[in-house]
């Protein structure tokens, strides 16, 4: 059996009881170590808690060396641990498909992830649209395909969850080109960098999917002992020191309920200013009034 086990967001004890029981009966235990990190637990602490050796699985092992992870999983139990929920990243669905193709049984044990814990900021989960990922820009690579998804969400009034990039065990372009197995230090995108990149792409696109005055919520270290939330505009949070990782951001949609707004006000320094920003943003993105087709024909 291959077990895909969600670890939750922060503590070693966030794993479910069923997940822990499965880990303890597995012959090998892998920890996926490139889409997220467990903020309040080290590898050594996990190994002591599980009573098992834990093998770190980087991107290369998961995406190119999955045969090693699946080795003998048809005759013994193997655990693949994922921070958050196992299906928070598409690469894990690929591992499941490979296992099933090899005739290996798969069991998934779910847990909390940023996709549902984001509700801690007070925004209602069913008012969220498409989630996007913000990657680190380089001088020559500034992808903006996510911009259209934000625009689609905003057109129908929905909030947008922005997942911020992390780089763990990544090679520089030069080292990759030369075949040198030298890895860059870990990097975690900050709220301010994310907001700066949002503003840069809006300035480039000029389609006003959002503006510098669009209200957003910064979510830092979600589910950890130092969880912090901060509400403001994109322009304001471009200068916000969000502290230690991990971070995510929510771009508010036009359909921000009064109860949602009241909850957000506890996370802003100037309540009146933030309320005004939300109301102005709602007005700015309000759809044009519907006009019956026959009236449009008469105008033509």
Residues 6+ apart with CB under 8 A from 96: 2, 4, 106, 108
CB neighbours of residue 177 within 10 Å: 9
Is 85 labelled as part of a ligand binding site? yes
Is 272 labelled as part of a ligand binding site? no
SS3 184: coil
Is 113 labelled as part of a ligand binding site? yes
Residue 149's H or E segment, with its range, is helix 146-155
Structure-token pair, residue 173? 């372009």
Is 88 labelled as part of a ligand binding site? yes
Span between the terminal Cα atoms of the chain, in Å: 67
Question: Rounded to whole angstroms, how far apart are CA atoms 82 and 38?
Answer: 9
Residues 6+ apart with CB under 8 A from 173: none
Is 27 labelled as part of a ligand binding site? no
Is 9 labelled as part of a ligand binding site? yes
Question: Rounded to whole angstroms, how far apart are CA atoms 248 and 225?
Answer: 16
Q: Which residues of 106-137 are buried (b: 16+ CB within 10 A; e: fewer)?
A: bebbbbbbbbebbeebbbeeeebbebbebbbb
Residues 6+ apart with CB under 8 A from 94: 63, 66
Burial class, 7, CB count within 10 angstroms (exposed 0-12 / middle 13-18 / buried 19+): buried
Q: What is the largest CA-CA distance in the chain?
A: 77
Q: Would you list which residues are annotated within the binding site?
A: 9, 85, 88, 113-114, 164, 222, 247
Q: Would you list which residues are annotated within the binding site for S-adenosyl-L-methionine?
A: 9, 85, 88, 113-114, 164, 222, 247
């Amino acid at each position: 059996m291959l077990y895909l086990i969600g670890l939750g967001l922060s503590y070693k004890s966030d794993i479910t009881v069923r997940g822990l029981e499965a880990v303890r009966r597995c012959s090998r235990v892998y920890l996926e170590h490139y889409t997220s990190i467990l903020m309040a637990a080290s590898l050594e602490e996990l190994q002591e808690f599980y009573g098992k050796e834990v093998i770190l699985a980087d991107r290369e092992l998961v995406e190119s060396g999955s045969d090693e992870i699946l080795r003998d999983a048809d005759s013994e139990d193997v655990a693949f641990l994922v921070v958050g929920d196992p299906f928070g990243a598409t690469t894990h669905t690929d591992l499941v498909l490979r296992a099933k193709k090899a005739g290996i049984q798969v069991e998934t044990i779910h847990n909390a992830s940023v996709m549902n814990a984001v509700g801690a900021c007070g925004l209602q989960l069913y008012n969220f649209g498409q989630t996007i990922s913000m990657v680190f820009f380089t001088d020559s690579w500034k992808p903006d395909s996510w911009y259209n998804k934000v625009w689609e969400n905003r057109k129908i009034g929905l909030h947008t969850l922005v997942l911020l990039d992390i780089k763990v065990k990544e090679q520089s372009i030069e080292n990759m080109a030369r075949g040198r197995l030298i890895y860059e230090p870990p990097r975690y995108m900050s709220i301010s960098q994310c907001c700066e990149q949002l503003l840069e792409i809006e300035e480039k696109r000029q389609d006003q999917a959002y503006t510098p005055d669009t209200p957003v919520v910064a979510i830092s270290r979600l589910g950890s002992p130092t969880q912090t939330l901060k509400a403001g505009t994109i322009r304001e949070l471009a200068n916000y020191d969000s502290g230690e990782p991990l971070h995510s951001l929510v771009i508010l949609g036009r359909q921000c309920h009064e109860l949602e707004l009241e909850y957000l006000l506890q996370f802003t320094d100037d309540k009146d200013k933030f309320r005004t920003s939300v109301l102005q943003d709602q007005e700015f993105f309000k759809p044009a009034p519907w006009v019956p087709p026959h009236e449009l024909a008469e105008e033509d």
